[in-house]
Amino acid sequence: MSQEMERNKKEIYILAGIIKENVKGRKIILWGDSPMLRNVLKEKYNLEVAFVVTVLQNLVNGRNIRHLEDIRGKSKEFYLVSWGRAYDFYYGKIEKEYGY
């Protein structure tokens, strides 16, 4: 396994631990999917991801992929995990606007 893959795996485990500590009964939502994170959450903490959110309407299916707008103002119900380091500023701005 390459050093980068090993680092990514370690980061996933750290992130999963942070999610476990902070989810507090809310449904876990991913903004950007990660099968590896899903697996770690399930295997290590018995936590399920409820669905993925996106801003791309053409990807929305209403079940496991929903529009980001669906969770606006619902931070007491949903725990949002956002991905994509290149978009950190954008994600942070939107998350704040949506109450997360």
| pLDDT tens for each residue of 39-83 | 999 999 999 999 999 989 999 999 999 999 999 999 999 999 987
Rounded Cα distance between 84 and 42, Å, is 22
The mean pLDDT of the chain is 90
Strands 27-31 and 49-54: parallel
Residue range(s) defining the domain that contains residue 52: 3-97
Residue 96 pLDDT greater than 70, yes or no? yes
Q: How far is CA 75 from CA 22, 48, 98, in A?
A: 12, 17, 8
Residue 100 DSSP label: -
Which pLDDT value is given to residue 82? 87
pTM above 0.75, yes or no: yes
User: How many domains does the chain contain in total?
Assistant: 1
44 or 3: whose pLDDT is higher? 44
pLDDT score, position 68: 93
Least confident piece of the model among 4-13, 50-59, 88-97:
88-97
